[in-house]
Amino acid sequence: MRTLPFDKAKLEEIAATYPTPFHIYDAKAIRANAKRLKKAFSWNKGFREYFAVKACPNPELMKLLKEFDFGSDCSSMAELVLAERVGNTGDKIMFTSNDTPAEEFRKAWELNAIINLDDITHWDYLYEAIPEFGSQVAAQADFRIFCCRYNPGPLKGGNAIIGKPEEAKYGFTREQLFDCYAKMKAAGVKHFGLHTMVASNELDPDYIVDTAKLLFTLVGEIHDQLGIDFEFINIGGGIGIPYKPDQKAMDLEYVGAGIEKAYEELVEKKGMKPIKLFMECGRCITGPYGYLVSRVRHIKNTYRLYAGLDACMSNLMRPALYGAYHEIIVPGKENSGNTSVYDVTGSLCENNDKFAIQRVLPVMERGDLVVICDAGAHGYAMGFQYNGKLRSAELLLEEDGSVRLIRRAETLDDYFATLV
């Protein structure tokens, strides 16, 4: 059984101030995890994690991660502005977007962000999108950094969530990469990176090590053919977390050591200049340390037994969207045995609004608190207002046990605010 950073009494105390449902994040655990990640890759000078803002776009959490020099991985205007507001600009922003609008390229340029292109046509599009691009790209080559997103296609096996690379809409083919870097070089660009993202919720550490190997090898080939040095490789996000009790967390130290060995062979032995290792994980940074706290509103007994919560899929869409498993704990009943089988539902008028289907849980009653685990990434962030359901509050559990509101719950006024 998983241990929570709060017990029933503490949660009741919190809920007296902030009514359920709410998301709560464990600051102490997020810090410890960030420290561990940095340590696992400390062999690499310049290692940096760019927190994927989309996983949990709360500025207070971004600020907390900034304590560890984490940058921001952004892919939209709102995410760029969030990064700017928490003080991440320049090479602290990785702008990894796709089907990108001109104004987002302009904003990324204005923030001096690292621009990670998703497609070969986007290089020419930059000249259209940013009026000063043509005149500044060479003049500002000392600090401008450009990157291309590689899609290895059939050269890399698939991963369950993200699917086969050749069916993914992202990135350049191998041939296109050579063409684009050549164009960039001809335009005067001096700082280059190479990116790929071929995993999502991946728990096999060798898959991550292999991704780094793939990029180190490719960087070597581009270096040999075009005579350019690479500043960094970015192995993307996608490190998984153990949602299910029988799954094992990613062994970050193993991944760190594995990539270090690959670095020695593919970069150092080859005599290339030092290359920084970047990643842009979201899920494994905050996922396990966020909880959706809800209360049983009704118990219903028909063809099945239902526990109806005051949270619904607009607070956490993953189970409805991809049948994702989230551990459910009923605080205060941890030791009363799992003796009943429930569908745990929300109140949305969609039958897939279920946090769990036929889950064996302790006997529940109206008013019981229910904690849905691993909601710290792609949880609140995926929220929506369908069926007039409003998004809940976000709270931060500080290391001293105090609790801070970091986003208030939506109100009906918010819901009506956009009506003309």
Ligand X SMILES: *Cc1c(COP(=O)(O)O)cnc(C)c1O
Q: In the bound complex, what is the minimum distance in angstroms from residue 240's beta carbon to ligand X?
A: 8
Closest to ligand X by CB, 54 vs 122, is 54
Residues of span 72-91 touching ligand X by CB under 6 A: 73
* DSSP class per residue in 117-172: ESSTHHHHHHHHHSTTHHHHTTTTTTT-EEEEEE--GGGS--BTTTB-GGG-S-SB
Closest to ligand X by CB, 30 vs 370, is 30
Closest to ligand X by CB, 262 vs 377, is 377
Which of 238, 288, 331, 376 binds ligand X (CB under 6 A)? It is 238
Residue in 30, 48, 26 with CA at minimum distance from that of residue 38: 48
Which of 71, 193, 282, 376 binds ligand X (CB under 6 A)? It is 282
* DSSP class per residue in 12-67: HHHHHHSPSSEEEEEHHHHHHHHHHHHHHTTTSTT-EEEEEGGG---HHHHHHHHT
For 71, the enclosing helix (H) or strand (E) is strand 71-74
Q: Which long-range contacts (CB under 8 A, 24 or more apart) does 223-226 make?
A: 223/272, 225/178, 226/178, 226/181, 226/182, 226/185
User: Under a CB-based contact definition with an 8 Å cutoff, are residues 390 and 415 in contact?
Assistant: yes
Residue in 162, 219, 175 with CA at minimum distance from that of residue 195: 219
Q: Does 376 bind ligand X (CB under 6 A)?
A: no
Closest to ligand X by CB, 52 vs 86, is 52
Q: Which two tokens stand for residue 358?
A: 């036929």
Residue in 316, 381, 385 with CA at minimum distance from that of residue 346: 316
Contact pattern from residue 200 through residue 219 relative to ligand X, giving x for each residue in contact according to CB under 6 A and a dash for the rest: x-------------------
Binding segment (CB under 6 A) for ligand X, from list 64-72, 175-183, 248-256, 275-283: 275-283
Residues that bind ligand X (rule: CB under 6 A) add up to a total of: 16
For 193, the enclosing helix (H) or strand (E) is strand 191-196
Taking the C-alpha atoms of residue 127 and residue 295, their distance in angstroms, rounded to an integer, is 53
Helix, strand or coil, per DSSP, at residue 269: coil
Contact pattern from residue 4 through residue 43 relative to ligand X, giving x for each residue in contact according to CB under 6 A and a dash for the rest: ----------------------------------------
Q: Between β-strands 48-52 and 305-309, what pairing exists: parallel, antiparallel or unpaired? A: unpaired
With vertex at residue 321, the alpha carbon angle to CA 362 and CA 389, rounded to the nearest 5 degrees, is 80
Closest to ligand X by CB, 197 vs 364, is 197
Q: In the bound complex, what is the minimum distance in angstroms from residue 79's beta carbon to ligand X?
A: 11
Q: Which two tokens stand for residue 166?
A: 């050749």
Q: Which residues pair with 96 in a beta bridge?
A: 116
Residues of span 180-199 touching ligand X by CB under 6 A: 197
Q: In the bound complex, what is the minimum distance in angstroms from residue 239's beta carbon to ligand X?
A: 6
Which of 14, 30, 37, 52 binds ligand X (CB under 6 A)? It is 52
Q: Does 49 bind ligand X (CB under 6 A)?
A: no
Q: Does 54 bind ligand X (CB under 6 A)?
A: yes
Q: Is the dihedral of CA 334, 5, 408, 240 positive or negative?
A: negative
Binding segment (CB under 6 A) for ligand X, from list 29-37, 48-56, 126-134, 354-362: 48-56
68-78 in b/e form (b: 16+ CB < 10 A) is bebbbbbbbee
CB atoms near residue 45 (< 10 Å): 9
Closest to ligand X by CB, 86 vs 285, is 285
Which of 57, 165, 193, 237 binds ligand X (CB under 6 A)? It is 237
Q: In the bound complex, what is the minimum distance in angstroms from residue 202's beta carbon to ligand X?
A: 8
Which of 113, 281, 292, 296 binds ligand X (CB under 6 A)? It is 281
Binding segment (CB under 6 A) for ligand X, from list 82-90, 136-144, 277-285, 363-371: 277-285
Residues of span 86-115 touching ligand X by CB under 6 A: 96
Binding segment (CB under 6 A) for ligand X, from list 49-57, 218-226, 260-268, 348-356: 49-57
Closest to ligand X by CB, 189 vs 377, is 377
State the residues that interact with ligand X by CB under 6 A.
52, 54-55, 73, 96, 197, 200, 236-239, 280-283, 377
